[in-house]
Protein backbone atom coordinates (compact mmCIF):
# COMPACT_ATOMS: atom_id res chain seq x y z
CA UNK A 1 0.00 0.00 0.00
CA UNK A 2 1.46 3.33 -1.04
CA UNK A 3 1.42 6.75 0.57
CA UNK A 4 -2.06 7.39 1.97
CA UNK A 5 -1.66 11.10 2.58
CA UNK A 6 -0.49 13.98 0.39
CA UNK A 7 1.63 16.68 1.97
CA UNK A 8 2.42 20.10 0.52
CA UNK A 9 5.62 18.91 -1.14
CA UNK A 10 3.82 16.05 -2.90
CA UNK A 11 0.92 18.32 -3.88
CA UNK A 12 3.40 20.74 -5.44
CA UNK A 13 5.04 17.89 -7.34
CA UNK A 14 1.68 16.56 -8.53
CA UNK A 15 0.52 19.98 -9.68
CA UNK A 16 3.67 20.61 -11.70
CA UNK A 17 3.38 17.17 -13.27
CA UNK A 18 -0.21 17.91 -14.23
CA UNK A 19 0.88 21.17 -15.80
CA UNK A 20 3.63 19.42 -17.75
CA UNK A 21 1.31 16.70 -19.03
CA UNK A 22 -1.18 19.33 -20.20
CA UNK A 23 1.61 21.23 -21.96
CA UNK A 24 2.71 18.03 -23.72
CA UNK A 25 -0.82 17.46 -25.05
CA UNK A 26 -1.80 21.06 -25.83
CA UNK A 27 -1.50 20.82 -29.63
CA UNK A 28 -3.62 17.68 -29.71
CA UNK A 29 -6.21 19.37 -27.48
CA UNK A 30 -6.19 22.41 -29.78
CA UNK A 31 -7.24 20.13 -32.62
CA UNK A 32 -10.32 18.92 -30.70
CA UNK A 33 -12.30 21.83 -32.07
CA UNK A 34 -15.91 21.53 -33.19
CA UNK A 35 -15.34 23.93 -36.06
CA UNK A 36 -12.27 22.74 -38.01
CA UNK A 37 -10.77 26.23 -38.05
CA UNK A 38 -7.02 26.93 -37.77
CA UNK A 39 -7.34 28.82 -34.49
CA UNK A 40 -8.20 26.03 -32.07
CA UNK A 41 -6.81 27.36 -28.79
CA UNK A 42 -8.30 25.41 -25.87
CA UNK A 43 -5.06 23.54 -25.22
CA UNK A 44 -3.02 26.73 -25.45
CA UNK A 45 -5.37 28.65 -23.15
CA UNK A 46 -5.48 25.93 -20.50
CA UNK A 47 -1.71 25.44 -20.68
CA UNK A 48 -0.94 29.13 -20.28
CA UNK A 49 -3.41 29.31 -17.38
CA UNK A 50 -1.83 26.43 -15.48
CA UNK A 51 1.69 27.64 -16.35
CA UNK A 52 1.02 30.96 -14.64
CA UNK A 53 0.28 28.99 -11.48
CA UNK A 54 3.21 26.61 -12.04
CA UNK A 55 5.54 29.64 -12.10
CA UNK A 56 4.29 30.62 -8.67
CA UNK A 57 4.58 27.08 -7.30
CA UNK A 58 8.13 26.61 -8.60
CA UNK A 59 9.22 29.86 -6.97
CA UNK A 60 8.29 28.53 -3.50
CA UNK A 61 11.38 26.38 -3.05
CA UNK A 62 11.82 22.76 -1.95
CA UNK A 63 9.83 22.76 1.32
CA UNK A 64 6.64 24.73 0.72
CA UNK A 65 3.79 24.89 3.17
CA UNK A 66 0.26 23.83 2.23
CA UNK A 67 -1.16 27.35 2.46
CA UNK A 68 1.64 28.76 0.30
CA UNK A 69 1.15 26.10 -2.36
CA UNK A 70 -2.60 26.69 -2.39
CA UNK A 71 -2.15 30.45 -2.67
CA UNK A 72 0.31 30.03 -5.56
CA UNK A 73 -2.02 27.69 -7.45
CA UNK A 74 -5.11 29.81 -6.86
CA UNK A 75 -3.72 33.30 -7.46
CA UNK A 76 -1.40 32.24 -10.28
CA UNK A 77 -4.11 30.50 -12.28
CA UNK A 78 -6.67 33.22 -11.53
CA UNK A 79 -4.50 36.00 -12.94
CA UNK A 80 -3.12 33.89 -15.76
CA UNK A 81 -6.51 32.56 -16.89
CA UNK A 82 -7.24 32.87 -20.62
CA UNK A 83 -10.19 31.74 -22.64
CA UNK A 84 -13.33 30.16 -21.24
CA UNK A 85 -11.61 26.84 -20.61
CA UNK A 86 -8.72 28.54 -18.81
CA UNK A 87 -11.03 30.61 -16.61
CA UNK A 88 -13.06 27.53 -15.67
CA UNK A 89 -9.84 25.62 -14.93
CA UNK A 90 -8.69 28.47 -12.68
CA UNK A 91 -12.00 28.38 -10.83
CA UNK A 92 -11.66 24.62 -10.34
CA UNK A 93 -8.24 25.19 -8.78
CA UNK A 94 -9.60 28.10 -6.75
CA UNK A 95 -12.38 26.02 -5.21
CA UNK A 96 -10.14 22.99 -4.64
CA UNK A 97 -7.42 24.97 -2.86
CA UNK A 98 -9.91 26.93 -0.79
CA UNK A 99 -10.93 23.70 0.93
CA UNK A 100 -7.44 22.30 1.54
CA UNK A 101 -5.32 25.38 2.38
CA UNK A 102 -5.67 24.90 6.17
CA UNK A 103 -4.82 21.18 6.10
CA UNK A 104 -1.38 19.80 6.92
CA UNK A 105 -1.93 16.69 4.84
CA UNK A 106 -4.64 15.59 2.43
CA UNK A 107 -6.59 12.38 2.95
CA UNK A 108 -9.13 10.81 0.62
CA UNK A 109 -12.16 12.38 2.40
CA UNK A 110 -10.54 15.83 2.31
CA UNK A 111 -9.76 15.52 -1.39
CA UNK A 112 -13.35 14.43 -2.06
CA UNK A 113 -14.61 17.55 -0.30
CA UNK A 114 -12.13 19.67 -2.25
CA UNK A 115 -13.39 18.25 -5.55
CA UNK A 116 -16.94 19.16 -4.50
CA UNK A 117 -15.87 22.72 -3.64
CA UNK A 118 -14.04 22.95 -6.96
CA UNK A 119 -17.14 22.02 -8.94
CA UNK A 120 -19.35 24.40 -6.94
CA UNK A 121 -16.94 27.27 -7.58
CA UNK A 122 -16.56 26.54 -11.29
CA UNK A 123 -20.30 26.30 -11.93
CA UNK A 124 -20.87 29.64 -10.19
CA UNK A 125 -18.38 31.29 -12.54
CA UNK A 126 -20.40 30.42 -15.65
CA UNK A 127 -23.64 32.30 -16.21
CA UNK A 128 -25.26 29.56 -18.30
CA UNK A 129 -23.45 26.27 -17.63
CA UNK A 130 -23.62 23.83 -20.52
CA UNK A 131 -23.41 20.08 -20.09
CA UNK A 132 -21.00 18.08 -22.23
CA UNK A 133 -18.12 20.40 -21.31
CA UNK A 134 -15.23 20.58 -18.84
CA UNK A 135 -17.84 21.35 -16.16
CA UNK A 136 -19.52 18.00 -16.75
CA UNK A 137 -16.22 16.15 -16.45
CA UNK A 138 -15.41 18.02 -13.24
CA UNK A 139 -18.80 17.18 -11.78
CA UNK A 140 -18.31 13.52 -12.70
CA UNK A 141 -15.02 13.56 -10.77
CA UNK A 142 -16.74 15.06 -7.75
CA UNK A 143 -19.63 12.61 -7.78
CA UNK A 144 -17.40 9.55 -8.17
CA UNK A 145 -15.13 10.87 -5.41
CA UNK A 146 -18.05 11.20 -3.01
CA UNK A 147 -19.32 7.73 -3.97
CA UNK A 148 -15.93 6.16 -3.20
CA UNK A 149 -15.74 7.87 0.20
CA UNK A 150 -19.24 6.67 1.04
CA UNK A 151 -18.13 3.15 0.09
CA UNK A 152 -15.29 3.39 2.58
CA UNK A 153 -12.38 3.77 0.16
CA UNK A 154 -9.33 5.24 1.93
CA UNK A 155 -6.51 3.97 -0.28
CA UNK A 156 -5.20 7.03 -2.16
CA UNK A 157 -3.97 5.18 -5.24
CA UNK A 158 -7.26 3.33 -5.68
CA UNK A 159 -9.18 6.55 -5.10
CA UNK A 160 -7.23 8.64 -7.60
CA UNK A 161 -7.08 5.91 -10.24
CA UNK A 162 -10.82 5.22 -10.00
CA UNK A 163 -11.75 8.90 -10.12
CA UNK A 164 -9.60 9.46 -13.21
CA UNK A 165 -11.01 6.41 -15.00
CA UNK A 166 -14.49 7.76 -14.33
CA UNK A 167 -13.44 11.18 -15.62
CA UNK A 168 -12.33 9.51 -18.87
CA UNK A 169 -15.69 7.76 -19.12
CA UNK A 170 -17.62 11.02 -18.58
CA UNK A 171 -15.42 12.64 -21.21
CA UNK A 172 -16.24 9.87 -23.66
CA UNK A 173 -19.93 10.63 -23.14
CA UNK A 174 -19.70 14.34 -23.90
CA UNK A 175 -20.59 13.80 -27.59
CA UNK A 176 -23.88 12.26 -26.42
CA UNK A 177 -24.64 15.41 -24.41
CA UNK A 178 -23.65 17.92 -27.11
CA UNK A 179 -24.78 16.85 -30.59
CA UNK A 180 -22.34 19.29 -32.17
CA UNK A 181 -19.47 17.28 -30.64
CA UNK A 182 -20.90 14.03 -31.95
CA UNK A 183 -21.37 15.41 -35.43
CA UNK A 184 -17.80 16.70 -35.48
CA UNK A 185 -16.47 13.40 -34.15
CA UNK A 186 -14.65 14.86 -31.13
CA UNK A 187 -14.93 14.92 -27.34
CA UNK A 188 -14.97 18.20 -25.42
CA UNK A 189 -11.52 19.77 -25.61
CA UNK A 190 -11.72 21.44 -22.18
CA UNK A 191 -12.74 18.17 -20.58
CA UNK A 192 -9.83 16.44 -22.29
CA UNK A 193 -7.49 19.07 -20.90
CA UNK A 194 -8.75 18.47 -17.37
CA UNK A 195 -8.23 14.72 -17.76
CA UNK A 196 -4.63 15.31 -18.89
CA UNK A 197 -3.98 17.41 -15.79
CA UNK A 198 -5.31 14.60 -13.61
CA UNK A 199 -3.20 12.03 -15.47
CA UNK A 200 -0.14 14.10 -14.61
CA UNK A 201 -1.24 14.28 -10.96
CA UNK A 202 -1.45 10.49 -10.76
CA UNK A 203 1.87 9.92 -12.52
CA UNK A 204 3.65 12.09 -9.95
CA UNK A 205 1.85 10.43 -7.06
CA UNK A 206 2.94 7.00 -8.34
CA UNK A 207 6.53 8.19 -8.46
CA UNK A 208 6.99 8.23 -12.23
CA UNK A 209 9.96 10.25 -13.42
CA UNK A 210 8.72 13.49 -14.99
CA UNK A 211 10.94 16.05 -16.71
CA UNK A 212 9.74 19.48 -15.73
CA UNK A 213 11.48 21.34 -18.57
CA UNK A 214 8.56 23.62 -19.28
CA UNK A 215 8.40 25.31 -22.68
CA UNK A 216 6.54 28.23 -21.14
CA UNK A 217 9.15 28.93 -18.47
CA UNK A 218 12.67 30.23 -18.48
CA UNK A 219 15.51 27.90 -17.59
CA UNK A 220 15.34 24.23 -16.70
CA UNK A 221 12.50 24.43 -14.20
CA UNK A 222 14.60 24.87 -11.07
CA UNK A 223 12.60 26.06 -8.12
CA UNK A 224 15.54 27.95 -6.62
CA UNK A 225 14.68 31.37 -8.08
CA UNK A 226 13.05 34.08 -6.06
CA UNK A 227 9.38 34.90 -6.48
CA UNK A 228 10.16 38.41 -7.73
CA UNK A 229 12.44 37.08 -10.46
CA UNK A 230 9.79 34.55 -11.51
CA UNK A 231 7.25 37.35 -11.81
CA UNK A 232 9.65 39.50 -13.86
CA UNK A 233 10.36 36.62 -16.23
CA UNK A 234 6.65 35.82 -16.51
CA UNK A 235 6.16 39.24 -18.12
CA UNK A 236 7.99 37.86 -21.19
CA UNK A 237 5.68 35.12 -22.37
CA UNK A 238 7.86 34.01 -25.29
CA UNK A 239 11.56 34.19 -24.58
CA UNK A 240 13.34 33.58 -27.88
CA UNK A 241 13.38 35.94 -30.85
CA UNK A 242 13.79 33.52 -33.76
CA UNK A 243 14.61 34.50 -37.34
CA UNK A 244 15.55 32.48 -40.41
CA UNK A 245 15.15 32.34 -44.16
CA UNK A 246 13.60 29.35 -45.95
CA UNK A 247 15.09 28.60 -49.37
CA UNK A 248 12.05 26.95 -50.92
CA UNK A 249 12.25 23.57 -52.59
CA UNK A 250 8.59 23.59 -53.64
CA UNK A 251 5.89 26.18 -54.35
CA UNK A 252 4.82 28.25 -51.34
CA UNK A 253 1.26 29.32 -52.15
CA UNK A 254 -1.17 31.39 -50.09
CA UNK A 255 -2.51 28.28 -48.35
CA UNK A 256 0.99 27.14 -47.37
CA UNK A 257 1.68 30.60 -46.01
CA UNK A 258 -1.54 30.69 -43.99
CA UNK A 259 -0.92 27.20 -42.57
CA UNK A 260 2.62 28.16 -41.58
CA UNK A 261 1.47 31.41 -39.95
CA UNK A 262 -1.26 29.56 -38.05
CA UNK A 263 1.33 27.10 -36.73
CA UNK A 264 3.67 29.90 -35.68
CA UNK A 265 0.75 31.58 -33.91
CA UNK A 266 0.18 28.37 -31.92
CA UNK A 267 3.73 28.42 -30.52
CA UNK A 268 4.41 32.15 -30.22
CA UNK A 269 3.61 35.64 -31.41
CA UNK A 270 5.15 38.77 -33.04
CA UNK A 271 5.02 36.83 -36.29
CA UNK A 272 6.37 38.06 -39.59
CA UNK A 273 6.25 35.67 -42.54
CA UNK A 274 7.01 37.20 -45.93
CA UNK A 275 7.25 35.08 -49.09
CA UNK A 276 9.15 36.38 -52.12
CA UNK A 277 9.49 34.01 -55.10
CA UNK A 278 11.86 31.27 -53.89
CA UNK A 279 12.53 32.43 -50.30
CA UNK A 280 10.49 33.06 -47.15
CA UNK A 281 11.62 35.42 -44.39
CA UNK A 282 10.45 34.28 -40.94
CA UNK A 283 10.40 36.06 -37.56
CA UNK A 284 8.64 34.76 -34.43
CA UNK A 285 8.88 35.11 -30.65
CA UNK A 286 8.54 31.62 -29.14
CA UNK A 287 9.62 29.46 -26.23
CA UNK A 288 10.80 26.64 -28.50
CA UNK A 289 12.76 27.83 -31.55
CA UNK A 290 13.28 24.22 -32.55
CA UNK A 291 9.59 23.77 -33.33
CA UNK A 292 9.59 26.76 -35.68
CA UNK A 293 12.78 25.56 -37.35
CA UNK A 294 11.46 22.00 -37.79
CA UNK A 295 8.28 23.26 -39.40
CA UNK A 296 10.30 25.56 -41.68
CA UNK A 297 12.36 22.60 -42.88
CA UNK A 298 9.19 21.12 -44.40
CA UNK A 299 9.39 23.79 -47.09
CA UNK A 300 13.11 23.89 -47.80
CA UNK A 301 16.65 24.48 -46.53
CA UNK A 302 17.27 27.18 -43.94
CA UNK A 303 19.80 29.99 -43.83
CA UNK A 304 20.55 33.19 -41.85
CA UNK A 305 19.30 31.56 -38.65
CA UNK A 306 19.39 33.84 -35.60
CA UNK A 307 18.04 33.14 -32.11
CA UNK A 308 18.20 35.70 -29.28
CA UNK A 309 17.26 35.01 -25.66
CA UNK A 310 15.17 38.08 -24.85
CA UNK A 311 15.11 37.36 -21.11
CA UNK A 312 18.88 37.46 -20.91
CA UNK A 313 18.79 40.77 -22.73
CA UNK A 314 16.50 42.06 -19.97
CA UNK A 315 13.63 43.12 -22.19
CA UNK A 316 10.91 44.60 -20.03
CA UNK A 317 8.05 42.84 -21.79
CA UNK A 318 6.99 40.99 -24.89
CA UNK A 319 6.73 43.08 -28.04
CA UNK A 320 3.16 43.96 -28.95
CA UNK A 321 2.29 46.05 -31.94
CA UNK A 322 -0.61 47.68 -30.15
CA UNK A 323 1.59 48.91 -27.29
CA UNK A 324 3.98 50.99 -29.39
CA UNK A 325 1.89 54.13 -29.05
CA UNK A 326 0.06 53.23 -25.87
CA UNK A 327 1.58 55.01 -22.90
CA UNK A 328 -0.07 55.07 -19.49
CA UNK A 329 -1.59 58.40 -18.61
CA UNK A 330 0.34 60.32 -15.92
CA UNK A 331 -0.78 59.15 -12.51
CA UNK A 332 -0.85 62.67 -11.10
CA UNK A 333 -3.51 63.81 -13.55
CA UNK A 334 -7.09 63.60 -12.28
CA UNK A 335 -8.92 60.57 -13.72
CA UNK A 336 -11.46 61.17 -16.42
CA UNK A 337 -14.98 59.83 -16.01
CA UNK A 338 -14.89 57.11 -18.68
CA UNK A 339 -12.30 55.00 -20.43
CA UNK A 340 -12.29 52.08 -22.90
CA UNK A 341 -10.27 48.90 -23.26
CA UNK A 342 -10.78 46.75 -26.35
CA UNK A 343 -9.33 43.42 -27.46
CA UNK A 344 -8.39 43.36 -31.13
CA UNK A 345 -6.71 40.98 -33.59
CA UNK A 346 -5.07 42.74 -36.53
CA UNK A 347 -3.32 46.08 -36.88
CA UNK A 348 -6.14 47.52 -38.97
CA UNK A 349 -8.75 46.59 -36.37
CA UNK A 350 -6.58 48.10 -33.63
CA UNK A 351 -6.25 51.38 -35.51
CA UNK A 352 -10.01 51.56 -35.95
CA UNK A 353 -10.53 51.24 -32.20
CA UNK A 354 -7.88 53.87 -31.46
CA UNK A 355 -9.45 56.26 -33.95
CA UNK A 356 -12.77 55.84 -32.13
CA UNK A 357 -11.20 56.94 -28.86
CA UNK A 358 -10.43 53.60 -27.21
CA UNK A 359 -7.74 54.23 -24.57
CA UNK A 360 -6.00 50.88 -24.66
CA UNK A 361 -6.07 48.07 -27.22
CA UNK A 362 -4.98 44.61 -26.12
CA UNK A 363 -3.56 42.68 -29.03
CA UNK A 364 -5.18 39.25 -29.02
CA UNK A 365 -8.40 37.53 -29.99
CA UNK A 366 -8.80 34.39 -32.04
CA UNK A 367 -5.32 32.90 -31.94
CA UNK A 368 -4.17 34.27 -28.60
CA UNK A 369 -6.71 35.09 -25.91
CA UNK A 370 -5.43 37.67 -23.41
CA UNK A 371 -5.32 36.60 -19.79
CA UNK A 372 -7.04 38.09 -16.79
CA UNK A 373 -3.66 39.58 -15.86
CA UNK A 374 -3.34 41.19 -19.32
CA UNK A 375 -6.69 42.90 -18.81
CA UNK A 376 -5.76 43.99 -15.28
CA UNK A 377 -2.51 45.42 -16.63
CA UNK A 378 -4.49 47.41 -19.20
CA UNK A 379 -6.79 48.68 -16.45
CA UNK A 380 -3.77 50.07 -14.60
CA UNK A 381 -2.78 52.04 -17.70
CA UNK A 382 -6.18 53.72 -18.19
CA UNK A 383 -6.68 56.69 -15.88
CA UNK A 384 -10.47 56.69 -15.63
CA UNK A 385 -13.05 56.18 -12.90
CA UNK A 386 -15.22 53.86 -15.00
CA UNK A 387 -13.74 51.65 -17.69
CA UNK A 388 -15.73 49.79 -20.30
CA UNK A 389 -14.08 46.54 -21.43
CA UNK A 390 -14.86 45.15 -24.88
CA UNK A 391 -13.68 41.50 -25.11
CA UNK A 392 -14.79 41.21 -28.77
CA UNK A 393 -14.59 37.42 -28.54
CA UNK A 394 -16.87 35.02 -26.70
CA UNK A 395 -13.79 33.18 -25.41
CA UNK A 396 -12.49 36.29 -23.60
CA UNK A 397 -15.66 37.40 -21.79
CA UNK A 398 -15.08 35.17 -18.74
CA UNK A 399 -11.50 36.44 -18.32
CA UNK A 400 -12.79 40.02 -18.55
CA UNK A 401 -15.47 39.31 -15.94
CA UNK A 402 -12.82 37.78 -13.70
CA UNK A 403 -10.71 40.94 -14.09
CA UNK A 404 -13.74 43.02 -13.10
CA UNK A 405 -14.12 40.99 -9.91
CA UNK A 406 -10.46 41.55 -9.02
CA UNK A 407 -10.54 45.32 -9.67
CA UNK A 408 -11.30 47.42 -6.61
CA UNK A 409 -10.11 50.99 -7.29
CA UNK A 410 -11.96 51.50 -10.58
CA UNK A 411 -15.36 50.49 -11.86
CA UNK A 412 -14.99 47.91 -14.62
CA UNK A 413 -18.02 47.32 -16.83
CA UNK A 414 -17.68 44.41 -19.24
CA UNK A 415 -19.79 44.79 -22.37
CA UNK A 416 -20.05 41.16 -23.59
CA UNK A 417 -19.11 41.81 -27.21
CA UNK A 418 -18.42 38.53 -28.99
CA UNK A 419 -16.99 39.99 -32.20
CA UNK A 420 -14.96 43.01 -33.28
CA UNK A 421 -17.90 44.50 -35.24
CA UNK A 422 -19.97 44.37 -32.05
CA UNK A 423 -17.16 46.16 -30.22
CA UNK A 424 -16.98 48.88 -32.85
CA UNK A 425 -20.75 49.38 -32.66
CA UNK A 426 -20.56 49.62 -28.85
CA UNK A 427 -17.92 52.39 -28.97
CA UNK A 428 -19.78 54.33 -31.66
CA UNK A 429 -22.91 54.35 -29.51
CA UNK A 430 -21.17 55.64 -26.39
CA UNK A 431 -22.49 59.05 -25.24
CA UNK A 432 -20.21 60.88 -22.73
CA UNK A 433 -23.10 62.91 -21.30
CA UNK A 434 -24.99 59.75 -20.25
CA UNK A 435 -24.39 57.82 -17.03
CA UNK A 436 -22.42 54.57 -16.99
CA UNK A 437 -25.59 52.53 -16.51
CA UNK A 438 -27.36 54.33 -19.36
CA UNK A 439 -24.39 53.77 -21.67
CA UNK A 440 -24.16 50.13 -20.70
CA UNK A 441 -27.85 49.63 -21.47
CA UNK A 442 -27.57 51.45 -24.81
CA UNK A 443 -24.49 49.52 -25.88
CA UNK A 444 -26.03 46.18 -24.94
CA UNK A 445 -29.08 47.03 -27.00
CA UNK A 446 -27.06 48.11 -30.05
CA UNK A 447 -24.68 45.15 -30.14
CA UNK A 448 -27.74 42.93 -30.22
CA UNK A 449 -28.54 44.29 -33.68
CA UNK A 450 -25.15 43.30 -35.14
CA UNK A 451 -24.82 40.05 -37.11
CA UNK A 452 -21.24 38.91 -37.73
CA UNK A 453 -19.77 36.46 -40.21
CA UNK A 454 -16.17 35.27 -40.52
CA UNK A 455 -14.56 33.47 -43.45
CA UNK A 456 -11.68 31.07 -42.91
CA UNK A 457 -10.66 27.59 -44.07
CA UNK A 458 -11.04 24.05 -42.72
CA UNK A 459 -8.09 22.18 -41.22
CA UNK A 460 -9.76 18.76 -41.33
CA UNK A 461 -12.67 16.84 -42.82
CA UNK A 462 -15.86 16.87 -40.78
CA UNK A 463 -19.65 17.33 -40.92
CA UNK A 464 -21.37 20.31 -39.28
CA UNK A 465 -25.06 21.17 -39.55
CA UNK A 466 -25.39 18.58 -42.33
CA UNK A 467 -22.66 20.33 -44.34
CA UNK A 468 -19.87 18.01 -45.45
CA UNK A 469 -16.61 19.89 -45.03
CA UNK A 470 -13.33 18.84 -46.61
CA UNK A 471 -9.88 19.92 -45.49
CA UNK A 472 -8.92 23.27 -47.09
CA UNK A 473 -12.54 24.17 -47.92
CA UNK A 474 -13.48 27.78 -47.25
CA UNK A 475 -16.06 28.26 -44.48
CA UNK A 476 -18.32 31.14 -43.52
CA UNK A 477 -19.18 31.05 -39.81
CA UNK A 478 -21.95 33.21 -38.36
CA UNK A 479 -23.13 34.02 -34.86
CA UNK A 480 -25.15 30.82 -34.62
CA UNK A 481 -23.17 28.42 -36.77
CA UNK A 482 -22.02 27.55 -40.25
CA UNK A 483 -23.36 29.75 -43.05
CA UNK A 484 -21.42 28.60 -46.11
CA UNK A 485 -18.87 26.04 -47.35
CA UNK A 486 -17.14 25.83 -50.70
CA UNK A 487 -14.02 25.86 -52.84
CA UNK A 488 -14.24 29.55 -53.82
CA UNK A 489 -13.30 32.21 -51.27
CA UNK A 490 -15.39 34.92 -52.91
CA UNK A 491 -18.44 32.67 -53.29
CA UNK A 492 -18.29 31.56 -49.66
CA UNK A 493 -17.89 35.17 -48.52
CA UNK A 494 -20.87 36.17 -50.69
CA UNK A 495 -23.04 33.38 -49.26
CA UNK A 496 -21.97 34.35 -45.73
CA UNK A 497 -23.30 37.86 -46.25
CA UNK A 498 -26.50 36.40 -47.74
CA UNK A 499 -26.93 34.28 -44.62
CA UNK A 500 -26.73 37.33 -42.36
CA UNK A 501 -29.09 39.64 -44.27
CA UNK A 502 -32.49 40.60 -42.89
CA UNK A 503 -35.25 43.06 -43.79
CA UNK A 504 -33.96 45.69 -41.35
CA UNK A 505 -30.37 45.68 -42.59
CA UNK A 506 -28.99 49.13 -43.34
CA UNK A 507 -25.20 48.75 -43.13
CA UNK A 508 -22.79 46.06 -44.33
CA UNK A 509 -19.22 46.36 -43.03
CA UNK A 510 -16.40 44.32 -44.55
CA UNK A 511 -12.98 44.01 -42.89
CA UNK A 512 -10.41 42.20 -45.00
CA UNK A 513 -7.59 40.27 -43.40
CA UNK A 514 -3.83 40.14 -43.70
CA UNK A 515 -3.99 37.46 -46.41
CA UNK A 516 -6.38 39.28 -48.76
CA UNK A 517 -5.18 41.72 -51.42
CA UNK A 518 -6.90 45.11 -51.32
CA UNK A 519 -7.90 44.93 -55.00
CA UNK A 520 -9.62 41.57 -54.40
CA UNK A 521 -11.41 43.00 -51.36
CA UNK A 522 -12.52 46.04 -53.35
CA UNK A 523 -13.88 43.85 -56.13
CA UNK A 524 -15.78 41.73 -53.61
CA UNK A 525 -17.14 44.85 -51.89
CA UNK A 526 -18.38 46.26 -55.20
CA UNK A 527 -20.33 43.06 -55.91
CA UNK A 528 -21.93 43.17 -52.46
CA UNK A 529 -22.87 46.84 -52.96
CA UNK A 530 -24.38 46.03 -56.35
CA UNK A 531 -26.57 43.25 -54.99
CA UNK A 532 -27.63 45.08 -51.82
CA UNK A 533 -28.03 48.57 -53.26
CA UNK A 534 -30.39 49.55 -50.45
CA UNK A 535 -27.61 49.23 -47.85
CA UNK A 536 -24.51 51.26 -47.17
CA UNK A 537 -21.46 49.08 -47.73
CA UNK A 538 -18.15 49.91 -46.06
CA UNK A 539 -14.77 48.30 -46.72
CA UNK A 540 -11.90 48.62 -44.24
CA UNK A 541 -8.56 46.93 -43.71
CA UNK A 542 -8.66 44.75 -40.62
CA UNK A 543 -5.34 42.97 -40.96
CA UNK A 544 -6.64 40.05 -38.90
CA UNK A 545 -4.84 36.70 -39.17
CA UNK A 546 -6.56 33.40 -39.99
CA UNK A 547 -9.82 34.99 -41.15
CA UNK A 548 -9.89 36.29 -44.73
CA UNK A 549 -12.97 38.41 -44.06
CA UNK A 550 -14.82 39.57 -40.96
CA UNK A 551 -18.18 41.03 -41.99
CA UNK A 552 -21.15 42.50 -40.18
CA UNK A 553 -24.73 43.38 -41.02
CA UNK A 554 -26.72 45.80 -38.88
CATH of domain 236-309: 3.30.70.100
Fold of 451-553: Hypothetical Protein Tm841; Chain: A;domain 3 (3.30.1180)
pLDDT of residue 3: 64
Q: Is the pLDDT of residue 544 over 80?
A: yes
Work out the pLDDT band at 330, boundaries 50, 70, 90. Answer: low
Mean pLDDT of 35-59: 84
The CATH homologous superfamily of the domain defined by 328-447: Phosphotransferase system, mannose-type IIA component (3.40.50.510)
Q: Which residues pair with 389 in a beta bridge?
A: 341, 414
Q: Is the pLDDT of residue 216 over 90?
A: no
Please give the Cα distance from 403 to 142 (Å, whole number). Answer: 27
Work out the pLDDT band at 408, boundaries 50, 70, 90. Answer: confident
| Cβ neighbours of residue 325 closer than 8 Å, sequence gap 6 or more | 354
Q: Is the pLDDT of residue 453 over 50?
A: yes
Q: Angle CA(329)–CA(408)–CA(419) in degrees, nearest 5?
A: 70
Return mean pLDDT, the chain.
86
pLDDT of residue 551: 95
Mean pLDDT of 436-462: 92
Work out the pLDDT band at 309, boundaries 50, 70, 90. Answer: confident
DSSP string for residues in 162-190: HHHHHHHHHHHHHHHH-HHHHHHT---HH
Question: Is the separation of the CB atoms in 47 and 26 below 8 Å?
Answer: yes
Work out the pLDDT band at 463, boundaries 50, 70, 90. Answer: confident
Q: Is the pLDDT of residue 58 over 80?
A: yes
Please give the Cα distance from 305 to 302 (Å, whole number). Answer: 7
**CA dist 454 → 253, 342, 352, 553 (Å):** 22, 19, 18, 12
Please give the Cα distance from 354 to 349 (Å, whole number). Answer: 9
Q: Is the pLDDT of residue 349 over 50?
A: yes
Q: What phi and psi values does residue 198 have, to the nearest 5 degrees?
A: -65, -40
- Express each pLDDT in 467-489 by its tens digit: 888 989 999 999 988 999 999 99
In this chain, the answer to whether the domains covering 236-309 and 451-553 adopt an identical fold is no
Percentage of the chain exceeding pLDDT 90:
54
What sign results for the dihedral spanned by CA atoms 10, 16, 19, 24? Answer: negative
| Cβ neighbours of residue 416 closer than 8 Å, sequence gap 6 or more | 391, 397, 444
pLDDT of residue 534: 87
Please give the Cα distance from 74 to 61 (Å, whole number). Answer: 17
pLDDT of residue 328: 52
Question: Is the separation of the CB atoms in 246 and 280 below 8 Å?
Answer: yes
Q: How many residues does the chain have?
A: 554
Mean pLDDT of 249-268: 82
The CATH homologous superfamily of the domain defined by 8-231: DhaL domain (1.25.40.340)
Please give the Cα distance from 267 to 288 (Å, whole number). Answer: 8
Please give the Cα distance from 240 to 155 (Å, whole number). Answer: 45
245-259, 281-295, 437-451, range with greatest mean pLDDT: 437-451
Number of H helices, E strands in the chain: 19, 16
Work out the pLDDT band at 315, boundaries 50, 70, 90. Answer: very low
Q: Give the domain ranges of the chain.
A: 8-231, 236-309, 328-447, 451-553
Q: Which of 20-34, 125-139, 227-241, 376-390 has the lowest mean pLDDT?
A: 227-241
Amino acid sequence: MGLQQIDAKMLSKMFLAGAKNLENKKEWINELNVFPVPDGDTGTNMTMTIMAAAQEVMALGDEPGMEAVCKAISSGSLRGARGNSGVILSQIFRGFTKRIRTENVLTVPVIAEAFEKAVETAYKAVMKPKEGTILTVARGISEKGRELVNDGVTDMEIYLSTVIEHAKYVLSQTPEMLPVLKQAGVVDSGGQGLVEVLNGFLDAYLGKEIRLDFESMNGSGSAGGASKRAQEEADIKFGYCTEFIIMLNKPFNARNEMDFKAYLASIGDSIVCVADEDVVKVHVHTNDPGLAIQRGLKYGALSNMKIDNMRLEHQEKLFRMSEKEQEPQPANEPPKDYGFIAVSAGDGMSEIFKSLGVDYVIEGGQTMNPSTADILDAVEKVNAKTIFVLPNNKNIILAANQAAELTTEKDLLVIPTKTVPQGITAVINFVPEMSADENEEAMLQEIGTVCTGEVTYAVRDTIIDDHEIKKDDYMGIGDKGLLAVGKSLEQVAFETVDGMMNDDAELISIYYGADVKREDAEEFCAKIAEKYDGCDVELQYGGQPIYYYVMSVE
